Amino acid sequence: MEAINALVLLGNYVIVPGIAYGSQLALAALGVSLIYGILRFSNFAHGDTMAFGAMVAVLLTSLAQSLGISIAPFPTAMLTLPFAIAGTVLLVIAFDFAVYRHFRSIRSSPVVFVIASTGVMFVMQGLIRFIVGPRDRDLGDGARFVVNAREFKAALGLEQGLSIKVSQSLTLGITIIAVLLLFWFLHRTRTGKAMRAFSDNEDLARLSGINPQTVVILAWTLSAALAATAGILYGLDKTFKPIIYFQLLLPTFAAAIVGGLGNPIGALAGGFVVAFSEICITYAFKRFLAYLLPENLEPTGLVQLLSTEYKFAISFFILVVVLLIRPTGIFAGRSS
């Protein structure tokens, strides 16, 4: 009984949130990785691309609520997802035409693109604050829990309850669908193969009749769609606050680099590595150990490696360790 309680406790505070957060990071890192693979630069505006997608969802959700449109028990934000994706794709392609296309035509080095993307990031931040302001917005409505902690306890007669939020199960479901679609596209369709070819060897791809402009637009489209989805899921799970997405940039890049930049499977794995590291290291294991250890060995402290304020340091730490030990990432990507 003690062991089951310990397991449920761990599930409730580590495993379920870890899977949800890991999925969100994985989606975000996939977008970063795609742009790195095709356009060969680190897109610092990706965090705010996520914020933009989530913002469109916030606005449309308010609109839908005021019109009385609802898909309860699902959150209204899910209804707005396709529109948010479309809006984000349009914005990102507009930025490509306004900014990045110029640097491609003069064949600038990757560092120029990175700096340009930092500029785009600030413009996007300004745009978002201009439209919705910097405040928190609640994105979630509809039912809150799939599994409620109180009912779970009552049903199983345990001390510890397990709660699974609607947003968490939606996150997992949508991530699985998005990843399957992406992999099917990259490996099964000719256009997807053309993208992989372009990422592998750009000159050769152009000589094989692949139009670089098409590939670039497609890369932005996929990346923006993934960003908007990740942004909305994160906003549903936590809360929508523009600055939060900027702070997500570091764990996102850590995830993409840990897995190997430019490698989709790596980005996926990296997302979960970073998420679980963050949660495990900042989780206080006191109560978990109390269940498992004999009474006289029960810990008196919190058994928490780092307090939660330091969670961003964990991304940094993972990043530094990976770059020192295995700079190509777990699944050797293009950064080698």
Partner 1 sequence: MVVRIDNLRKQFGEFVSVDDVSFEISSASITGLIGPNGAGKTTLFNTIAGFYPPTSGRVFLDDQEITALPPHRLFELGLLRTFQIAREFATMTVRENLMMVPGDQHGERIWNSWFSRARIAREEAVISTRADDVMDFLQLAHVADLPAGQLSGGQKKLLELGRTMMTDAKIVFLDEVGAGVNRTLLRRIGDAIIRLNREIGYTFCLIEHDMAFVERLCDPVICMAEGRILAQGSMQEVVNNDEVIQAYLGSRGGTTT
The answer to whether 304 contacts partner 1 (rule: CB under 8 A) is: no
Min CB(181)–partner 1 separation in Å: 11
Question: Smallest distance from the beta carbon of 210 to partner 1, in angstroms?
Answer: 6
Task: Please report how close the Cβ of residue 192 comes to partner 1 at its closest, in angstroms.
Answer: 8
Q: Which is nearer to partner 1, 103 or 310 (CB)?
A: 103
Residues 116-155 vs partner 1: string with x where CB under 8 A?
A: ----------------------------------------
DSSP assignment of 30-60: HHHHHHHHHH-S--TTHHHHHHHHHHHHHHH
Q: Compute the distance between CA of residue 196 and CA of residue 94 in angstroms, rounded to an integer.
A: 24
Compare residues 47 and 264 and give the one whose CB is closer to partner 1. Answer: 264
Give min distance, CB of 196 to partner 1, in A.
7
Q: Is 82 in the site for partner 1 (CB under 8 A)?
A: no
Residue type at position 304? Q
Indicate the residue among 135 and 190 with the shorter CB distance to partner 1. Answer: 190
Task: Find residue 164's DSSP bridge partners.
Answer: 147
Distance from C-alpha of 42 to C-alpha of 37, rounded to nearest angstrom: 9
Shortest spacing between CB 2 and partner 1, in angstroms: 50
| Distance separating alpha carbons of residues 321 and 327, to the nearest angstrom | 9
- The amino acid that residue 164 corresponds to is I
Q: Using CB under 8 A, which residues numbered 161 to 220 contact partner 1?
A: 189-191, 193-194, 196-197, 200-201, 203-212, 218
Nearer to partner 1, 206 or 238 (CB): 206
Tell me the torsion sign for CA atoms 46, 52, 58, 64: negative
To partner 1, the closest distance from the beta carbon of 223 in angstroms equals 15
Is-cis flag, bond preceding 110, omega within 30?
Answer: no
- Name which of 178 and 218 has its Cβ closer to partner 1: 218
The DSSP-derived string for 85-122 is HHHHHHHHHHHIIIIIHHHHHTT--HHHHHHHHHHHHH
Q: Which is nearer to partner 1, 29 or 186 (CB)?
A: 186
Minimum Å distance from CB 248 to partner 1? Answer: 29
Q: 184: buried, middle or exposed (CB in 10 Å: 19+, 13-18, 0-12)?
A: exposed
Cβ proximity to partner 1, 84 vs 194, nearer residue: 194
Give the Cα separation of 157 and 137 in Å (integer).
Answer: 37
Residues making contact with partner 1 (CB under 8 A): 189-191, 193-194, 196-197, 200-201, 203-212, 218
